[in-house]
Structure 1
Amino acid sequence: MSKPKVLIAFYSRNSSTEILANAIAQGAIEEGAEVRVRRTRELVSDEVMSQIPGWSDNAKAMNSKYEAPSEADAEWADAIVFGTPTRFGSISSELKAYIDGLGGLWFQGKLNGKVGSVFGSTSSLHGGNESTLLSIYTPMAHLGLIIVPLGYSDPAMFKAGTPYGATHVSARDSLKPDDDHLAVARFQGRRVTAVARGLLHAKVLAAAA
């Protein structure tokens, strides 16, 4: 059986969400997945970006490391993991634009039955991590993804994260994800991969029946 294929499509401005994305990728690879990590692109003008110290420089650095996610990436994947910082308690426009751009695949039914999962970060305590992750569940359901939350199915979940997905609070970008938060992210990668593998195995058995 081929390796489960996992797409991690994220947006990050100051690296907290990026760090979680790479930890999820690590967990997925440990579980035997083939992984693509992609960063969505800015939608606002350079003028707007210049008002936030470091935004432009960080964007250039991250965009040099990661390709932008494409329709082809989503079609390729057996599992799609979306990651975003909170924006006023909800999904970032950069990630939402990518999801909205999957309408062609949705219309053709090509996303039905793929695994879907989410993770995110926020700058302030109670800044909307859980509401943001839950807000992404809605378009995932419309796309036909099989939503995979984390629950409390690993000891790491009793130290950090949420039952909906890995999270981090950066305290106005003064803190990076620590070992406990990274452990949750790696578990998310493993869990998503294991579920995707199970679904692939079920398809093989169904085809052979």
Structure 2
Amino acid sequence: MTKPKILIAFYSRNGSTETLANAVADGARQLGAEVRLRRAREFVTSEVMAQVLGWQESADKMNALYEAPTEDDADWADAIVFGTPTRFGSISSELKAYIDSLGGIWFQGKLNGKVGSVFGSTSSKHGGNESTLLSIYTTLAHLGLIIVPLGYADPSMFGAGTPYGATHVSAQDSLRPDEAHLAVANFQGRRVTSVARGLRDAQFIGAAV
């Protein structure tokens, strides 16, 4: 059997969502997955980015580390995990723009039956983590993905995160995800990989019968 293929497509401005993305990737790799980590790109002008201290520098640094997600990445994957900071209680426009670009392969049915999961971060307490993750579930359903939440299926879930996906509150970027939140993100990577492997192997056996 080949390794499960996991795409982690995220947007991060100041590093909190990036940190969670890497913890999800670590969990997936622990179960033998092949992982592609991709950062969605800005589409606003440099003048807009200059209005936020450090935005351009942070973007340049992360863009040097991660390729932009593509339609081919989504086609390749057995599972797609989306990560986003909250923007007024909803998904970031950068990640949404990537999702919207998948209309071509969606129309061809190439996303049907892949695993889908979500994680996110926000700057302030009650800043919209849960509403953001839940709103993306609607999009995953339209894409034809099989939604995999976390529930309380691991002890780490009783210390941090949400049953919908890993989360973090950065307190105006003064806090990085701690051990408890990274444990939830790691579990998310393992859970997604386990489900993706099970679904793919079942399809393989069914095709062989």
TM-score, normalised with respect to structure 2: 1.00
Instruction: Give the structure 2 partner of residue 84 of structure 1.
Output: 84
Q: What is the aligned-residue identity percentage?
A: 77
Report Cα offsets for 1:84-119 as digits up to 9, x if no partner. Answer: 000000000000000000000110000000000000
> Which ranges of structure 2 fall in alignment gaps of 5 or more residues?
none
Report Cα offsets for 1:98-156 as digits up to 9, x if no partner. Answer: 00000001100000000000000000000000000011111110110000000000000
1:136 maps onto 2:104 in alignment: no
Query: Take 2:161 and 2:23, find their aligned partners in 1: how far apart are those partners?
Result: 13
1:24 maps onto 2:18 in alignment: no
1:199 maps onto 2:199 in alignment: yes
Report Cα offsets for 1:2-60 as digits up to 9, x if no partner. Answer: 00000000000000000000000000000110000000000111111101100000000
Output aligned runs, 1:40-55, within 5 Å.
40-55=40-55
Output aligned runs, 1:7-156, within 5 Å.
7-156=7-156
Q: CA deviation at 1:201?
A: 1.0
> Which ranges of structure 1 fall in alignment gaps of 5 or more residues?
none
Instruction: Give the structure 2 partner of residue 187 of structure 1.
Output: 187
Amino acid at match of 2:103: G
Report Cα offsets for 1:137-176 as digits up to 9, x if no partner. Answer: 1111011000000000000000000000000000000000
Segments of 4+ moved more than 2 angstroms: none
Query: Take 2:191 and 2:31, find their aligned partners in 1: how far apart are those partners?
Result: 8
Instruction: Give the structure 2 partner of residue 162 of structure 1.
Output: 162
Q: CA deviation at 1:208?
A: 1.4
Query: Take 1:162 and 1:44, find their aligned partners in 2: how far apart are those partners?
Result: 31
Query: Take 1:164 and 1:102, find their aligned partners in 2: how far apart are those partners?
Result: 23
Aligned length: 209
Query: Take 1:201 and 1:102, find their aligned partners in 2: how far apart are those partners?
Result: 25
CA RMSD in angstroms, aligned pairs only: 0.4
Amino acid at match of 1:159: G
TM-score, normalised with respect to structure 1: 1.00
User: What secondary structure is seen at the aligned counterpart in 2 of 1:38?
Assistant: strand
